[in-house]
């Protein structure tokens, strides 16, 4: 039974669906998907078209909006919106260190997690769409990894789409994970340089923190091992609109004097842990590189291997000279499963996924070249998370896709830009501009 309730200006309805774990075995095991329906209070009884939001990630549940925040306010002017928690996330059947042992050992867990990629998410959408819309196609808004899912949707089930809107999420159609990270590290270096240009005092602060971590190797109260590599990964913040400022304020009070000498402050450790821990989204760490798997090559800890090609990211070496200590960005490494207590029990499972070959293709160039669905995509210039050159190459491969290339926003433009980004994409898809 669906439950409806209200927030300022909106009516919310909790909806739950049953879908096959393996869509190639529809009579087999099932899992539950949760989705939140949102409609404007003054349109609650209207017959409106549907917009479904595909969240970034992988491994994050849908945004928990309050009222008409961010892009949602614009969407509610004409749509009834569905915010699904993609399989394994949020209030859907969870996949984490507490639940995965129900599958068996690491091999069984890894096999289970092969069903948590973009193709399965799209097939989930097609199972629930008739129950939601009565069979009518809907508009999809895909942010980041949600854009990857949207391109898969266009490749495999375009009949389910009225229109497709993509923000910061046009994937390479055939690049291996190595190609993705080989393009990523120079972008990350540029973002770090821009941060140090904005906050030059942070260069010395970062060196001090890195030196301290190499000497003391602290273990936080949560059991998190704050290594220098983990500290560097705070650079993931630099891909967001306010990330550089957040990183600066974090570094501002990194140290405190104690009777035993200078130490990392509790405030710094607490904030760093909240940013670094995967306890709330472990699936991101487990299937992040698998999101790029499409052939007989294993991903084989791609981000870690490719990082070795960029020695300037080695903090210990940087500290022996005068060069800056560089942050890294959106990447998962073998050591991630050693530092984070929420991931340690899943270490072997992660290694098995990294070694896996025979991934099924995610995108169909021929179908994309014959596309008839109205598509519009925001491409953020020098996006730290998604390579602009890869995105534009894919845009050219999708028939009729219209791009909006902008440096006004970072990767989170659809959130930070309020209604403006969605408004522009709708106008592009409708040929109004």
Q: What is the pLDDT of residues 9-39, one digit of tens each?
A: 999 999 999 999 999 999 999 999 999 999 9
Shared-domain flag, residues 339 and 242: yes
From 355, 390, 408, the end of a domain falls on 355
How many other CB atoms are found less than 10 A from the CB of residue 385? 21
How far, in whole angstroms, is CA 34 from its chain's centroid? 19
Between strands 3-7 and 10-20, the pairing is: antiparallel
Going by pLDDT thresholds of 50, 70 and 90, the confidence category of residue 322 is confident
pLDDT, the chain, mean: 96
Locus of tokens 């770090």: 192
Please name the residues in contact with 190: beta carbons below 8 A apart, sequence gap of 6 or more: 382
CA-to-CA separations, 94 to 14, 24, 101, 141, in angstroms, rounded: 17, 21, 12, 23
Shared-domain flag, residues 8 and 116: yes
Cα 325 to Cα 315: distance, rounded to the nearest angstrom: 5
Which residue segment(s) compose the domain that 95 sits in? 3-174+363-429
pLDDT above 90 covers a percentage of the chain that reads: 97
Nearest-5° angle of CA 33, CA 51, CA 149? 60
Shared-domain flag, residues 89 and 19: yes
Find out whether 424 and 375 touch, Cβ atoms under 8 Å: no
Shared-domain flag, residues 27 and 117: yes
Average pLDDT over residues 297-323: 95
Going by pLDDT thresholds of 50, 70 and 90, the confidence category of residue 201 is very high
CATH number, residue 24: 3.40.50.1820
Shared-domain flag, residues 201 and 251: yes
Shared-domain flag, residues 378 and 418: yes
From 303, 324, 355, the end of a domain falls on 355
Shared-domain flag, residues 120 and 228: no
Going by pLDDT thresholds of 50, 70 and 90, the confidence category of residue 329 is confident
CA-to-CA separations, 42 to 6, 11, 51, 78, 80, in angstroms, rounded: 12, 9, 18, 11, 12
Cα 21 to Cα 24: distance, rounded to the nearest angstrom: 9
Shared-domain flag, residues 138 and 42: yes
Locus of tokens 């300037």: 312
Shared-domain flag, residues 342 and 259: yes
Average pLDDT over residues 386-402: 97
Shared-domain flag, residues 333 and 185: yes
- pLDDT value, residue 255: 97
Average pLDDT over residues 324-350: 97
* pLDDT of 339 higher than 90: yes
* pLDDT of 413 higher than 80: yes
- pLDDT value, residue 323: 86
Find out whether 213 and 226 touch, Cβ atoms under 8 Å: yes
* pLDDT of 1 higher than 70: no
* pLDDT tens digits along 116-163: 999 999 999 999 999 999 999 999 999 999 999 999 999 999 999 999
Q: Total domain count for the chain?
A: 2
pLDDT above 70 covers a percentage of the chain that reads: 100
Buried b (16+ CB within 10 A) or exposed e, 395-416: bebbeebbbbeeeebbbbbbbb
User: What are the structure tokens assigned to 29, written together?
Assistant: 């095991």
Find out whether 272 and 153 touch, Cβ atoms under 8 Å: no
pTM: 0.97
Shared-domain flag, residues 60 and 12: yes
User: What are the structure tokens assigned to 143, written together?
Assistant: 């942010």
Average pLDDT over residues 167-193: 97
Shared-domain flag, residues 101 and 169: yes
Catalytic residue positions?
A: 144, 383, 411
Cα 217 to Cα 364: distance, rounded to the nearest angstrom: 47
- pLDDT value, residue 418: 84
From 333, 355, 377, the end of a domain falls on 355
Average pLDDT over residues 197-225: 97
């Amino acid at each position: 039974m669906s439950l409806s309730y209200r927030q300022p200006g909106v009516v919310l309805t909790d909806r739950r669906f049953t879908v096959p774990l393996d869509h190639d075995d529809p009579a087999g095991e099932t899992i539950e998907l949760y989705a939140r329906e949102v409609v404007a209070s003054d349109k609650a009884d209207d017959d409106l078209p549907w917009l479904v939001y595909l969240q970034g990630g992988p491994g994050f549940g849908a945004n928990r909006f309050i009222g008409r925040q961010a892009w949602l306010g614009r969407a509610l002017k004409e749509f009834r919106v569905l915010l699904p928690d993609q399989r394994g996330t949020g209030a859907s059947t969870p996949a984490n260190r507490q639940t995965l042992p129900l599958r068996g050992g690491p091999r069984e867990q890894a096999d289970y997690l092969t069903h948590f990629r973009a193709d399965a998410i799209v097939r989930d959408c097609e199972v629930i769409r008739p129950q939601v819309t009565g069979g009518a196609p809907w508009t999809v808004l895909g942010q980041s990894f949600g854009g990857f899912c949207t391109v898969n949707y266009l490749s495999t089930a375009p009949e389910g789409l009225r229109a497709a809107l993509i923000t910061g999420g046009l994937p390479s159609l055939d690049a291996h994970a190595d190609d993705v990270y080989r393009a990523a590290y120079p972008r990350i270096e540029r973002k770090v340089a821009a941060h140090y240009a904005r906050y030059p005092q942070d260069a010395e602060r970062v060196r001090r923190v890195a030196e301290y971590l190499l000497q003391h190797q602290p273990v936080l109260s949560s059991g998190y091992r704050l290594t220098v590599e983990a500290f560097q990964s705070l650079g993931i913040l630099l891909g967001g609109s306010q990330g550089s400022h957040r990183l600066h304020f974090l570094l501002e009070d990194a140290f405190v004097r104690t009777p035993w000498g200078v130490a990392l402050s509790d405030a710094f450790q607490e904030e760093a842990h909240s940013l670094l821990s995967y306890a709330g989204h472990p699936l991101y760490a487990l299937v992040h590189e698998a999101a790029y798997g499409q052939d007989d090559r294993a991903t084989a800890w791609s981000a870690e291997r490719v990082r070795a090609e960029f020695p300037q990211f080695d903090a210990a070496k940087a500290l022996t000279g005068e060069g800056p200590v560089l942050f890294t960005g959106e990447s998962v490494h073998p050591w991630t499963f050693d530092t984070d207590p929420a991931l340690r029990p899943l270490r072997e499972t992660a290694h098995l996924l990294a070694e896996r070959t025979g991934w099924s293709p995610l995108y169909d160039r021929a179908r994309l070249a014959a596309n008839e669905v109205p598509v519009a995509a925001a491409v953020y210039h020098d996006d730290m998370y998604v390579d602009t050159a890869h995105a534009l190459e894919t845009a050219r491969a999708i028939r009729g896709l219209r791009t909006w290339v902008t440096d006004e926003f970072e990767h989170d433009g659809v959130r930070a830009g309020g209604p403006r980004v969605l408004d522009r994409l709708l106008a592009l898809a409708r040929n109004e501009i």
